[in-house]
């Protein structure tokens, strides 16, 4: 989405959670900015800043609610392994 401003709706510490959250947001029709979990964004996570999850500003309000719900759900689940 060229020319659109993006807004950070969440920060996550785990690259796996980032990938799941981005996929879920896309599945619900949002357009999160695709980040690679290597390079400068990985460095941010390694120093405690986390990976930003960004969506276009017009989607931010609704995407933030969904992301918070998904993250809460993921945090509440225990691994079956």
pLDDT of 34: 81
Domain ranges of the chain: 6-76
Say whether pLDDT at 1 is over 80: no
In order of 23, 25, 39, 80, the CA distances from 28 in angstroms are: 9, 5, 28, 26
For residue range 25-76, what is the model confidence (pLDDT) as tens digits? 999 999 999 866 554 444 444 456 688 999 999 999 999 999 999 999 988 8
pLDDT of 75: 87
Which residue is it, tokens 């390694």? 46
In order of 2, 3, 12, 20, 37, the CA distances from 17 in angstroms are: 26, 28, 7, 5, 11
Report the predicted TM-score, pTM, of the whole model to 2 decimal places: 0.77
Write out the H or E segment, with its range, that includes residue 9: strand 6-12
Write out the H or E segment, with its range, that includes residue 21: helix 15-27
């Amino acid at each position: 989405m060229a020319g659109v401003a993006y807004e950070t709706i969440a920060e996550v510490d785990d690259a796996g959670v980032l990938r799941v959250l981005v996929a879920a947001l896309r599945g619900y029709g949002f357009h999160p900015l695709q980040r690679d979990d290597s390079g400068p964004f990985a460095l941010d996570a390694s120093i405690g800043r986390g990976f930003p999850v960004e969506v276009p500003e017009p989607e931010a309000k609704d995407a933030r609610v969904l992301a918070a719900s998904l993250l809460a759900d993921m945090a509440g689940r225990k691994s079956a392994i």
